[in-house]
Amino acid sequence: MPSTNIDATKSPNDTKQYRLLTLDNDLQVLLIQFQPGDDSPDDDYSADGSSDDDNDSEDEDGSEDDDGDESCSDDNDMDAGSRGRPSDVSMGSHPSKGKSSSRRAGACLTVGVGSFSEPQELGGLAHYLEHMLFMGSEKYPDENEFESFLSAHGGYSNGETDCERTSYLFEVGPDHLQHALDMFAQFFISPLMKADAMDRELCAIESEFNQATTSDQIRLQQVLATTADAHHPFQHFNWGNTKSLRDIPAARGIDVRARVRSFYDSHYSANLMKLVVCGQDSLDDMESWVRTSYSPIQSKQ
């Protein structure tokens, strides 16, 4: 499908260039080109659109009691196979997890599905899937390959699971945007979701849950959740922990890995995705990279 230039609608003080396009698989893309050394105020914002000055996040409820788990002890929360990202379940704004810089390029892909769409019997499934997409793909099978590449080039990555959407983002040195975009695209084409990686990421989710239980803000949100209509998904426990994603499913004979894969296959469709890419390369170059790497994402709906 043809691309659209939207420069006519931008501020006269904005030096960036923009292009809006839709791929043949119905994935919508916004490209943003900035000039090296651009000192516009927008450079204080990172790939997810949040400011470095944003310090308040609104985190989702975490209601299930947990007595701790020996296999996910505090000493092992940041297992070598786990990304060890900060809490990433949200009901509102979410702060950047790395310092922004005009010297970085980046991307954010948002999928129009979140915790409200997960099955009642598997609280936290959408959050679990978000973690697993960072853990290797068929094209880039090493679990930490993406994170290692970003770290080697001044970047970082993060994800956020919300009620009705899930977002993935990264920033990287501008000279390495093309390769990072291709690695990122594989999250949504052929993720591996290895069983052993799932065990390690469950420990990371358990750690996030334990940290969340000490937050008065999250406790208040849980009180609000318990007052919701019994049939509304807001009352559903959607943070996830070892109890909701391992112990209870095991007692019921539920294959959690198969259900995570099924959730991905059912909901992660190109027509439900929106991608924003920001870099100092030309719009034509970035469009070419996006069309090459993101066109293979399937539109399933």
Residues acting as catalytic residues: 130, 201
Supply φ then ψ for residue 290, to 5 degrees: -65, -45
Burial of 39 (0-12, 13-18, 19+ CB in 10 A): exposed
Per the CB < 8 A criterion, the answer to whether 244 and 124 are in contact is: yes
The per-residue DSSP string of 73-93 comes to -GGGTT-TTS--PPP-BBSS-
Q: How many CA atoms lie within 13 A of 47 on its CB side?
A: 32
**Other C-beta atoms lying within 10 Å of the C-beta of residue 58:** 13
Gap between the Cα atoms of 155 and 11, Å rounded: 29
